[in-house]
């Protein structure tokens, strides 16, 4: 049994919560199942101690609060190095208690000098991926971007292995960063449940469900244009938008905004007939797994990792990004054919059970993790 220290990015500092940023414990389920196979010595959270956070906030000050928060979260090499220094100091104190370090994400390095213990990474995307889709995001300057990518590349190269959530991300490591294929393994990700729910699913309400914080990037405007066509053919169809608050005046569209509790989100999944999120850019897409776990046929786009999650014509459909006509045709077809929705929903549910659980993810990682322990 490996003794693991986990370095995670699972929480938002208190001052950003006051500005409206929610605290998502996205890694809780993964850590739970990892702890069933290995001994987790400690989980290090990846935000800076308070004095450094205040200094970082001061150096990014703006009288506009939203602009201030945006600058605070912008990737920069100062925070990368500072995080790494603090992490190395903590690992040095725990070196006799741990076998390996597992870092979740790549916003810093476990070390700034030499490796104290072998380390692994588990990532959903790379900076190069993000920049190729949205070159104006994340960095304040080209120089800052290039420095960050250089540091990021060093972290990947010095890792024992990099676990990725998709083949798409694996491709970025091989092509954009020159990482050897033997050092990269796609292990996918799991639906955020301790047990995948099983229940009798009904599809007669004709509810289309969209869940996403970034309405534009997640393809929300494509969904709205498609929904206008859907209403011409399926009169009782309704659309629920969850996670964001676009200004929409259609009485058949319900905008829920942020859902505070998982129980409410589960009720929405259960009530819906089909899930849609034709993202323009989606490194992975956890919501597809949640939707499939609730036996919903899913419609995504042909980009990024979505074709690795959705089996086209089996568990849902894939459409070209931005193609509202193709999306409308698929929605109309599904809402007119309950038996097809049921068949796709069942296949998607089985696919999650067989491929996209955190227990399976940990099993895929374990062989590599134990190799390091054997060498210590």
DSSP 8-state assignment for residue 136: T
Q: How deeply is 57 buried, as exposed, middle or buried, from its count of CB atoms within 10 A (0-12, 13-18, 19+)? A: middle
Task: Verify that 338 and 362 share a domain, yes or no.
Answer: no
Task: Verify that 179 and 295 share a domain, yes or no.
Answer: no
Whether 201 maps to a domain, the answer reads no
Q: Report residue 240's pLDDT band, with 50, 70 and 90 as the boundaries.
A: very high
The Cα angle at residue 369 between residues 124 and 185, in degrees rounded to 5: 40
Given a contact cutoff of 8 angstroms between Cβ atoms, the answer to whether 317 and 299 are in contact is yes
Q: Where is pLDDT greater, at 54 or 371?
A: 371
Q: For the stretch 145-183, what's the b/e string if a residue is b when 16 or more beta carbons lie within 10 angstroms of its beta carbon?
A: bebbbebbbebbeebbbbbbbbebbbebbeebbebeeeb
Task: Verify that 180 and 249 share a domain, yes or no.
Answer: no
Q: How far apart are CA 365 and CA 187, in angstroms?
A: 7
Task: Verify that 79 and 211 share a domain, yes or no.
Answer: no
Task: Verify that 316 and 363 share a domain, yes or no.
Answer: no
Task: Verify that 282 and 163 share a domain, yes or no.
Answer: no
Q: How far apart are CA 145 and CA 150, in angstroms?
A: 9
Task: Verify that 289 and 329 share a domain, yes or no.
Answer: yes
Q: For the chain, what is the domain count?
A: 2
Is the predicted pLDDT of residue 224 greater than 90, yes or no?
yes
Whether 328 maps to a domain, the answer reads yes
Mean pLDDT over 319-325 rounds to 97
Task: Verify that 8 and 151 share a domain, yes or no.
Answer: yes
Q: How far apart are CA 12 and CA 15, in angstroms?
A: 8
Whether 329 maps to a domain, the answer reads yes
3-state secondary structure of 111: coil
Over 326-362, what HEC string results?
HHHHHHHHHHCCHHHHHHHHHHHHHHHHHHCCHHHHH
Whether 202 maps to a domain, the answer reads no
Q: Report residue 101's pLDDT band, with 50, 70 and 90 as the boundaries.
A: very high
Which residues in 218-326 belong to E strands, given as ranges? 238-242, 253-257, 274-276, 298-301, 316-319
Q: Report residue 61's pLDDT band, with 50, 70 and 90 as the boundaries.
A: low
Mean pLDDT over 152-177 rounds to 97
Residue with tokens 């993202």: 279
Supply the pLDDT for residue 75: 74
Domain, as residue range, for 127? 3-190+358-375
Pairing of strands 119-123, 39-45: unpaired
Q: How far apart are CA 51 and CA 233, in angstroms?
A: 59
Of 59-73, 127-141, 218-232, 320-334, which gets the smallest average pLDDT?
Answer: 59-73
What size, in residues, is the chain? 376
Q: How far apart are CA 6 and CA 12, in angstroms?
A: 17
Whether 181 maps to a domain, the answer reads yes
Q: Where is pLDDT greater, at 272 or 78?
A: 272
Task: Verify that 153 and 230 share a domain, yes or no.
Answer: no
Q: How far apart are CA 361 and CA 43, in angstroms?
A: 19
Can you count the helices (H) and strands (E) in the chain? 15, 12
Is the predicted pLDDT of residue 10 greater than 50, yes or no?
no
Task: Verify that 258 and 174 share a domain, yes or no.
Answer: no
CATH number at residue 12: 3.40.50.2000
Q: How far apart are CA 65 and CA 1, in angstroms?
A: 47
Of 16-20, 144-148, 170-174, 261-265, which gets the smallest average pLDDT?
Answer: 16-20
Task: Verify that 213 and 116 share a domain, yes or no.
Answer: no
Whether 195 maps to a domain, the answer reads no
Is the predicted pLDDT of residue 214 greater than 80, yes or no?
yes
Whether 310 maps to a domain, the answer reads yes
Task: Verify that 47 and 115 share a domain, yes or no.
Answer: yes
The mean of the pLDDT values for the chain is 89
3-state secondary structure of 267: helix
Q: How far apart are CA 295 and CA 289, in angstroms?
A: 10
Given a contact cutoff of 8 angstroms between Cβ atoms, the answer to whether 68 and 60 are in contact is yes
Whether 197 maps to a domain, the answer reads no
């Amino acid at each position: 049994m490996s003794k693991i220290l986990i370095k995670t990015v699972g929480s938002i500092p208190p001052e950003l919560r006051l500005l409206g940023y929610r605290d998502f414990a996205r890694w809780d389920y993964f850590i739970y199942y990892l702890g069933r196979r290995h001994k987790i010595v400690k989980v290090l959270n990846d935000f800076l101690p308070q004095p450094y956070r205040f200094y970082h906030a001061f150096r990014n000050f703006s009288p506009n609060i939203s602009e201030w928060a945006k600058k605070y979260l912008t990737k920069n090499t100062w925070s990368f190095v500072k995080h790494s220094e603090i992490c190395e100091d903590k690992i040095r104190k725990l070196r006799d208690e741990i076998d390996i370090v597992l870092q979740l994400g790549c916003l810093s390095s476990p070390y700034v000098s030499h490796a104290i213990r072998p380390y692994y990474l588990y990532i959903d995307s790379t900076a190069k991926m993000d920049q190729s889709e949205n070159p104006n995001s994340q960095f304040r300057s080209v120089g800052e971007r290039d420095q960050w990518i250089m540091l990021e590349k060093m972290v990947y190269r010095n890792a024992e292995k990099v676990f990725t959530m998709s083949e798409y991300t694996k491709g970025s490591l091989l092509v954009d960063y020159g990482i050897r294929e033997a050092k990269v393994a796609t292990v996918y990700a799991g639906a955020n449940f301790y047990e995948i729910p099983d229940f009798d699913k009904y599809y007669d309400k004709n509810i289309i469900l969209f869940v996403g914080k970034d309405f534009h990037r997640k393809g929300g405007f494509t969904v709205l244009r498609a929904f206008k066509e859907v209403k011409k053919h399926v009169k009782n169809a309704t659309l629920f938008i969850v996670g964001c608050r676009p200004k929409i005046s259609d009485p058949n569209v319900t905008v829920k905004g942020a859902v505070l509790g998982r129980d409410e989100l589960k009720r929405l999944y259960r009530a819906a007939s089909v899930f849609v999120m034709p993202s323009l850019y989606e490194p992975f897409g956890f919501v597809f797994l949640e939707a499939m776990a609730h036996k919903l046929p899913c419609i995504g786009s042909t980009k990024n990792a979505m074709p690795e999650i959705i089996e086209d014509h089996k568990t849902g459909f894939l459409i070209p990004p931005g193609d509202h006509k193709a999306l409308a045709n698929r929605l109309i077809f599904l809402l007119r054919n309950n038996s097809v929705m049921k068949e796709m929903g069942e296949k998607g549910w089985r696919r999650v059970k067989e491929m996209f659980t955190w227990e399976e993810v940990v099993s895929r990682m374990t062989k590599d993790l134990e190799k390091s322990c054997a060498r210590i």
